[in-house]
Structure 1
């Protein structure tokens, strides 16, 4: 039996597939506008359907240039789809895989863009809970964009889900998720960008859990001017982290300007843009011959 599709769009190519469903690149049949459409797996359980609707609601609360935009949630009988902005760029995961460790200015630029996107989510009362390199897209201009609010929750909600490599101690303990939870994950990725390594290794779940819960924050592994950012952002107690992503941006700007000069961000953006363009074959819109409307 043919799978349902949002009728006014034609599918161009599949971008990814997982347990929850599949994401495709599509274009509007009349206007030609490119979009990304996430389809929930057919026959999904009621709990999965509720979570899918929650994802759309969470994404719909956030309106910021550092976050991929929601266009609409589509329901057709038992079928559900989320139509959202198609960001033409490369996952930060791919940049790290090929180029890490990055120059400090580039790592700082990604952290700042991510914190600005997270701050917009936090201002809307949303905690992402799954910040990781695969959920950050870097376009050709070097400005990072945050995607995938699939397990986002209202601030104060349960936090026992996430990607183990970047989960905050409170997530491992099943405590409420707060903006500080996202700050922790973003700082873990910042550490990875600077060193080429995950903060607590790539071992099994138990060893990773033990690292996040009990091992010292590895601030000494990075350049001295950046150690306070790692120490604060990855503090074990959420109360010892910056009170918000926006507050952390202010501290980051101060540290980066003092260590790398007033033009640090423009230099970092050029490095990221170069790394992204070198991987232009992975840009979904460019590969499909589409241009954003």
Structure 2
């Protein structure tokens, strides 16, 4: 913080990490001696009202989540000189640091990470929230092998269309396409991280955004690189289509537990947690309680796809995906698979809710603090079966404050206002709609052009068909829905894999809501797999 402002009622101990968006510090609540993590928004970010709104939204979201698998939220404070989120401090290290040191984990330890992660995500999904940026950096592993999920900086409401955002190495196919936020995208990211724990590498290794987009959308799931016993989880979690994955994190947990018991016995979880704790113990100097120097970052890298690379095989598909109307292309660090520098606390960023009744705050109405606060906020939180990190706190056990429950304490000065989403303009019109289908062997890419007047969201419905003749839309083969923002004429590219053996002509029909003045648009083309077959007469 350039101006030196600190949250009233807390004494700063040392910095845990910093970056372009702000910094995270280890602090102590003066009234009780509870160690906490305070995330400050940088002066530069505070000058942008949009960033301030997002920071408030993150705090509000965290205040509504209570789970032992998500880092605890204490309070949000905003004043003329600064804004900050006060969070539970977890004495742990990021899963990224563990993988950087160890390369990979044994299957039982990887299953523990996945289960805890899914339980943390399940709490968010029940609250109608999609994390959208699950990755090893956002999992914290404590000394006892427990873990927590952190950093909801780009989370969004289920079904909302906040634009294309996330960390490319872990983004689900539909996330690249700007489709509405869905729990199945979080399931995909958690499975990608699970795969990395098992194999020591990410599922796809594209050298740039274009290659990664194509690989996540088209490349086969690399399940054979993982131990055979856990391949069913990888097949399910990394399925290309959202409907082929478990519908949410809670459903995936049930599948995980059944598989883990069958493959590794009823004690798999205890063994896995011990193994995870042993890996974390290899990094003693990275724990906040060790008092090491800050060497982290809270920065978020903003990257616009389309500059600095030339589309190659499949690259134009990725280019089209990047042109989703109105998409804010926000990609966090570790974008194209390049690991961050090996720094001590490289992943400290946002933290969130924890155990009920653990809430330090300068307000007398704040929930009472946990009897065993755990130091260490980070952009990496990995939940495990245990309720919370139980590493010894560097401060004495605090006396609980008067508590009225788990409602977060809001101490805004001036009053914080929550900005509602803009209402679509009543004059929104789709003036023209067009579509061109480019066929492949089994795939087709539909380039949809949309011209609009006014402002607001436009829903684009892409229906796929197969048939035995040009223009014959006789066999429905799936539907995709995109939501784009009205603006200048633009093109959206959507791809589809046609079902085999149901016709040699692929077709597409596109409609919009509101309906286009030019009506529906359609096209059909002969699939290349049928080029050696005499066309039907």
Q: Contact between 2:68 and 2:148, CA under 8 Å: does it hold in 1?
A: yes
Deviation at 1:220, TM superposition (A): 1.4
Question: Which residue of structure 2 lines up, in the alignment, with residue 21 of structure 1?
Answer: 22
Q: 1:171 to 1:292 in 2, by over 3 A?
A: farther
Q: Which moved more, 1:265-274 or 1:94-103?
A: 94-103
1:89/1:280 contact within 8 Å kept: no
Per the alignment, in what secondary structure is the counterpart of residue 134 of structure 1? Answer: coil
Q: TM-score, normalised by structure 2?
A: 0.53
1:219 to 208, 212, 223: 223
Distance 2:289 2:36 in 1: 9
Match of 2:54 among 51, 70, 73: 51
Q: Counterparts of 2:192 and 2:220 in 1: how far apart (Å)?
A: 13
Mapped pair 1:192 → 2:196: yes
Which residue is equivalent to 1:123? 126
Query: Which residue, 160, 166, 176 being the options, matches 1:162?
Result: 166
2:63 aligned residue (60, 63, 66): 60
Q: Distance in 2 between matches of 1:280 and 1:157?
A: 41
Structure 2: distance between partners of 1:231 and 1:170: 17
1:93 and 2:197 equivalent? no
Deviation digits for residues 260-283 of structure 1 (CA, Å, limit 9, x no counterpart): 111011000000111112212111
CA RMSD of aligned residues (A): 1.5
Q: Deviations over 1:85-125 (max 9, x none)?
A: 01110100011111122100000000000000000111111
Task: Return the offset for 1:7.
Answer: 1.9
Structure 1 segments unaligned to the other structure (5+ residues): none
What is the rounded CA distance, in whole Å, between the counterparts of 2:119 and 2:226 in structure 1?
23
Query: Which structure has greater helix proportion?
Result: 1
Within 5 A, what are the aligned runs for 1:169-180? 169-180=173-184
- Tell me the residue number matched to 1:147: 150
Task: Work out whether residues 20 and 48 of structure 1, in 8 Å CA contact, stay in contact via their aligned partners in 2.
Answer: no
Moved over 3 A (4+): none
Structure 2: 5+ residue stretches without partners: 293-392, 398-537
**Which sits farther off after the overlay, 276-285 or 256-265?**
276-285
Specify the alignment match of 1:284 in structure 2: 288
Distance 2:58 2:3 in 1: 25
Distance 2:164 2:266 in 1: 40
1:75 to 74, 78, 82: 78
Deviation at 1:78, TM superposition (A): 5.2
Pick the structure with greater CA Rg.
2
Q: Compare the two structures and name the one with the higher strand fraction.
A: 2
- Secondary structure in 2 aligned to 1:2? coil
Residue number in structure 2 paired with 1:201:
205
Write the distance in 2 (CA, Å) between the matches of 1:161 and 1:33.
35
Using the TM superposition, give the Cα deviation of residue 287 of structure 1 relative to its aligned residue in structure 2, in angstroms. 2.7
TM-score by length of 1: 0.96
Counterpart Cα distance in 1 of 2:60 and 2:183: 18
Q: Distance in 1 between matches of 2:126 and 2:396?
A: 28
SS, match of residue 134 in structure 2: coil
* Partners of 1:142 and 1:270 within 8 A in 2: yes
Whole-Å Cα distance in 2 between the matches of residues 230 and 175 of structure 1? 22
Q: Partners in 2 of 1:220 and 1:44 — Cα distance? A: 49
Question: Number of matched residues?
Answer: 293
Residue 272 of structure 1 corresponds to which residue in structure 2?
276
Distance in 2, Cα, partners of 1:87 & 1:121: 19
Whether contact under 8 Å (2:71, 2:90) holds in the other structure is yes
Match in the other structure for 1:228: 232
CA distance in structure 1 between the partners assigned to 2:174 and 2:63 by the alignment: 26
